[in-house]
Structure 1
Amino acid sequence: MSVQETQEPAGHFGDVDPVTFEVLRNTFEYACNRMTTIMQKTAFSPILADVLDFSNAVYDPDLRLLSQAANCPVHLAAMQYSADAAVKKYPIKDMKPGDIFALNDPYQGGTHTNDITFIMPIYLDGELLGFAVSRGHWMDFGGGAAGGMSFSTHVAAEGLRIPPIKAFENYQVKDDFLAILLNNTRTPFFVEGDLQAHLGALKAAEQEMQRAAARYGIETVKAAMRELIGYTERIIRKSIEEIPDGIYTASDVADTDGFQIEPVTVKVTLIVKGSEILVDFEGSDPVCKGSINSPYANTASAAFYSLQFFLAPHAPSNWGMFAPITLNIPEGTWLNPEWPAPVIGCTTLTSSKITSAIWQALAQAIPDRVTGSTCSECNWFVGSTKDEFGNANVFSDLPAGGWGGTPYSDGMSVTMDPLGNCMNMPAESAELLFPIEYEAFELRPDSAGAGKFRGGLGAVFKVRFLYEGDMNMETSRTREGSPGVGGGERSAVQRTTHLYPDGRKVVIGGTDDDGNWVSPLLSEHPFGKEEVFMFESTGGGGWGNPHERPVEKVLDDVIDGYVSLEKARESYGVAIDPATMTVDEVATAKLRAA
């Protein structure tokens, strides 16, 4: 059942007393959090165990989201569509305890092929209680390059595409399913461990839901589910009513799809009326030739989580969040493509541009609540290399950037984009598992957008190859940085550079010192022994007029190395004597007056 379909109206059901309701609400949340703990502690691949690129949720018997852990926002709403696809093929009436269904097909509720989703029904005494759903980004499903990052023109080049399939029976993985996975990955040594991690997470949710139903009764638990969803919907509708009715339009761009020179545009119109919002993507660019197209589920998920940041982030996360929001995602656009359009960059590149466009539109409606755009990138890379014994390795990371300035404070530095609550790979883990060295991960001066409240800073990230290998990467923001709001400036542009042992520096993504721009979408770019991959991420956009930033704060930023003397003068109108590191008050007054 789709989140866009109308179901019973929200309201007080009166079947559960407040104390029991609160206990069960927390039980549903705890079930998801326990799933997350098990995933992190038992997964074999570092992209799951260290980077935490996974999500977990439970659904009610009608397949409506009931609760979710604070995992990857870009996964969470999209998982609904995967569950819908599984149930469409395998009717609920035919399911049995221990059945687990899997899929990663971008055109059947998935996002990109790396994200595989597992759906398991939960029963007590033969009665359906709901569903546990777990999604994880797996390191590699084959394809034309490590991680599927071939940046080809056909989705087949991005790796194994799994339609809804029964992957487990009686909690046991089916041999044929496992054999297909092992035959279609560069990292078979992670597969069985990661499968068991997902199974453990699903069974944890099953245990908690069964325990609650056994204690309080199935009907009481189901009544609490209904009331919880209605409770959230009432909160969301009240929040929407606080936004002035109106039509708010904004846009953002991806630098390239890897084939065309022109940027690719997201256009969004928010129509706020009473307690409802229409999110309309009419006017967005057509389907791309390259691999940044966004399947419907991914675009819908990006729209939902982008709005929740400024609607009611304190509300319980469930289907009630979606009920007041209607989507129009025109077919034939890069935000709603059809097979066989390639999609590998959809979660990491495209969803972040959707968020930026929606936040810019919201800034017109509620300027005192919306922040400047974040780095608006995941900066996902997948490298491959061989060790001294010739063993192949695949490693991956997500070098973060800054968040935008807020109406109250500077933005956060080096923080994962809103699309995910992922972590950077710890250098210790990376160097233990792979023949590489993390040479640097440090704040990048002048990367933040200037403002009354500046954006957070990006980072300078370096990886040294100890043996020959190659690098695949998805990124953007190399033409212009992330926008600010209310007079705040854009952040710096991003750049990827190949460093050679002899001192040469070659820009392989973005603009070099001579003004030459090259596509930042890398596929199998070769690196030799002792050569270094360097990435410079951007910060967030600024909030408010930079000349309204207190002079003392600008001076502090210069002393701390966040802002250069030149940037302080050009953007903030603050002249600082480099010899004494004090403010030239006369020159500053003239600059700010001008």
Structure 2
Amino acid sequence: MSDQTREIHMQVMWNRLISVVEEQAMTLLRTAFSTSVREAGDLSAGVFDPAGRMLAQAVTGTPGHVNTMAEAVLHFIAEIGRENMFPGDTYVTNDPWQGTGHLHDITMVSPSFKGDTLVGFFACTAHVVDVGGRGFGADGKSVYEEGIQIPIMKFAERGVVNADLVRILRTNVREANQVVGDFYSLAACNDVGHNRLIAMMEEIGLDTLDDLGDFIFARTRAATLERIAALPRGAWTNVMVTDGYDTPVKLMATLETRGETVNVDFGGTDGISRWGINVPIIYTKAYACYAMKCVVAPDIPNNWASLEPFTVSSPENILNAPRPAPVSLRHVFGHMVPDLVLGALAQALPGKILAEGSGALWNIHMSVRPAAGQDGRRAEILMFNSGGMGARPEQDGLNATAFPSGVMTMPIEATEHTGPVVIWRKELRPDSAGDGQYRGGLGQIIEIAPAEGHEFDFSAMFDRIQNAPRGRDGGQNGAPGMAALDDGTRLKPKGWQHVPAGRKLVLHLPGGGGYGDPALRDPQARANDILKGYLSGDRK
């Protein structure tokens, strides 16, 4: 086989491998019980070589899941041990420090055997609706209050499911059928990946993935190092202030180019919080690497070789919180990390980095029940919502878009089907975008009420209420967010709170910051914004 023919042959197999993990992810989307997975795509899937190095990931999924999973598989291999791995096995954990950052994410890893030979691993992650404890919120004082902890262990051995683990799960969670159903969906996801991989290897005549892995890693690493070499040499620091739980929290990042690596250090960030807003370093690293790759190597496939040159360091602080810190809402500040890192990169690469956006998802977990003296049903409902993205150097920001998490919008019909709530309003928020040569993306206005005869407690997971997304290069800040009842009662940005029967919860999600001097905005673009209702009143 000539070198050119071999190159084409390897590229075709690489593409086939990507299609395998895409089918793996689609299996999870189609079979998941939780709306956060089925409707929003809060998941990840990937294939790894026998050493635990990620070969390929599914496009479907979030950076927080994918990039943490890239490290988590190594923990599974170390904990289970190669001598204890058999065909038909599936391993599981929700350990925040060895998985994806908090207890609500379930990670499953399955070895893939061709005959008696271990040829790789499949891994997947999904957010489940409930893990017991206080529920999905920031009010816990330690991880022990936040729900059931599952150490790395076997969900199934040689195809036989661990019935004792399933019984323990059912006893510890509020939505047992949904949670257990999602466990089986995750296991099925890996099974599909394994079956498709073995079929591919038999068709092509491969006994191992070694040569293909070498081909993938060599090319992605070379391409990534070429991009890093083109960066200016130096170190740049950015500081961001966020709302925190009850007091503001300072986040600080210093980005430094070091030969063939780019490192981000989070020294100077505020210390560990007593509330559940801390972030394990595995999750901080996932989003820091994502931010760097978005700018430095956005078109290079995400795998072990392309991630390795991007490194993270930090003393113990809110972005590197050790066990047993409470970490339930690790996504709030984890989602702020890309804007924090991009603010440092903007100094190294002026004119090329978007403005700050809403960042963290405005998740809301509702625990719905019949009001006093009323009949009805109970339900645990999780809803994802997104504010506006920051404006880009040559384009407006995207409206109500989940950057950096990448999850999809959850249809209100799916949310209402899950339990007795009514979404009375969900629309773009006029005047929420930061002005500039390119305006930021708009936030949303959402009104939610318990169905007749019901009330609910909800866990607020909001930020950017006291500290709006900042504009860049002369662009104005986006509008800050707001949470209140329809009678005007202001609510806290984080923590469990109550919506009584007959009242509505009203959310105003933040808009993205603008980019560039507003005086330079194209008059036709501004007129178009007025025509669409994006601008009104004094903003005209």
* TM-score of Structure 1 vs Structure 2, range by shorter chain: over 0.9
**What amino acid maps onto 1:229 in structure 2?**
F
SS of the residue aligned with 1:442? strand
Structure 1 residue aligned with 2:50, among 61, 64, 67?
Answer: 61
CA–CA separation in structure 1 for the residues paired with 2:190 and 2:501: 43
SS of the residue aligned with 2:467? coil
1:296 equivalenced with 2:281 (yes/no): yes
Change (3 A) 1:248 1:16: farther
The offset of 1:305, in angstroms, is 0.9
1:532 equivalenced with 2:540 (yes/no): no
Equivalent pair of 1:143/1:159 in contact (CA under 8 Å): yes
1:521 equivalenced with 2:521 (yes/no): no
**What amino acid maps onto 1:557 in structure 2?**
D
The offset of 1:216, in angstroms, is 2.9
Structure 2 residue aligned with 1:160, among 140, 143, 148?
Answer: 148
Structure 1 residue aligned with 2:235, among 236, 244, 247?
Answer: 247
User: Which residue matches 2:266?
Assistant: 281
The offset of 1:16, in angstroms, is 8.2
Q: How large is the RMSD of aligned CA atoms in angstroms? A: 1.8
The residue correspondences of 1:318-357 to structure 2 (distance < 5 A) are 318-330=303-315, 332-347=316-331, 349-357=332-340
The offset of 1:389, in angstroms, is 4.4
User: Which residue matches 1:41?
Assistant: 30
Unmatched tracts of structure 1, length 5 or more: 1-13, 510-519, 569-594
1:379 equivalenced with 2:362 (yes/no): yes
User: Which residue matches 1:417?
Assistant: 403
Unmatched tracts of structure 2, length 5 or more: none
User: Which residue matches 1:579?
Assistant: none
User: Which residue matches 1:405?
Assistant: 391
**What amino acid maps onto 2:469 in structure 1?**
S
User: Which residue matches 1:435?
Assistant: 420
Change (3 A) 1:155 1:237: same
Equivalent pair of 2:277/2:326 in contact (CA under 8 Å): yes
CA offset digits 1:511-552 (Å, max 9, x no partner): xxxxxxxxx1021x1122232111111121111111111233
1:265 equivalenced with 2:250 (yes/no): yes
The residue correspondences of 1:167-186 to structure 2 (distance < 5 A) are 167-186=155-174
Structure 1 residue aligned with 2:121, among 125, 131, 136?
Answer: 131
User: Which residue matches 1:6?
Assistant: none
Change (3 A) 1:438 1:18: same
Equivalent pair of 2:359/2:402 in contact (CA under 8 Å): no
Identity of aligned residues (%): 28
CA–CA separation in structure 1 for the residues paired with 2:202 and 2:4: 17
Equivalent pair of 2:129/2:179 in contact (CA under 8 Å): no
CA offset digits 1:119-140 (Å, max 9, x no partner): 1010101111110001010000
CA–CA separation in structure 1 for the residues paired with 2:502 and 2:122: 46
User: Which residue matches 1:588?
Assistant: none
Equivalent pair of 1:468/1:529 in contact (CA under 8 Å): yes
CA–CA separation in structure 2 for the residues paired with 1:528 and 1:213: 58
Aligned residues: 533
User: Which residue matches 1:488?
Assistant: 475
Equivalent pair of 2:284/2:334 in contact (CA under 8 Å): yes
SS of the residue aligned with 1:253? strand
User: Which residue matches 2:81?
Assistant: 91
CA offset digits 1:301-320 (Å, max 9, x no partner): 11111111112221122111
The offset of 1:555, in angstroms, is 2.6
CA–CA separation in structure 2 for the residues paired with 1:361 and 1:96: 46
State the structure with more CA Rg. 1
Equivalent pair of 2:358/2:511 in contact (CA under 8 Å): yes
CA offset digits 1:230-266 (Å, max 9, x no partner): 211111111222221121110223212x24x2x1122
Shifted more, 422-431 versus 61-70: the winner is 422-431
SS of the residue aligned with 1:163? coil
Equivalent pair of 1:129/1:209 in contact (CA under 8 Å): no
**What amino acid maps onto 1:522 in structure 2?**
G
Equivalent pair of 1:266/1:284 in contact (CA under 8 Å): yes
The offset of 1:219, in angstroms, is 5.1
User: Which residue matches 2:107?
Assistant: 117
Shifted more, 271-280 versus 184-193: the winner is 271-280
TM-score (norm 1): 0.87
1:554 equivalenced with 2:526 (yes/no): yes
Equivalent pair of 2:383/2:415 in contact (CA under 8 Å): no
The offset of 1:15, in angstroms, is 11
User: Which residue matches 2:411?
Assistant: 426
Structure 1 residue aligned with 2:39, among 50, 64, 74?
Answer: 50
CA offset digits 1:337-363 (Å, max 9, x no partner): 12221111112x111221111111111
Change (3 A) 1:150 1:252: closer
Change (3 A) 1:126 1:455: same
CA–CA separation in structure 1 for the residues paired with 2:200 and 2:464: 48
CA–CA separation in structure 1 for the residues paired with 2:173 and 2:475: 45
User: Which residue matches 1:572?
Assistant: none
The offset of 1:221, in angstroms, is 3.0
CA–CA separation in structure 2 for the residues paired with 1:422 and 1:171: 32
Structure 2 residue aligned with 1:469, among 453, 456, 468?
Answer: 456
User: Which residue matches 2:490?
Assistant: 507
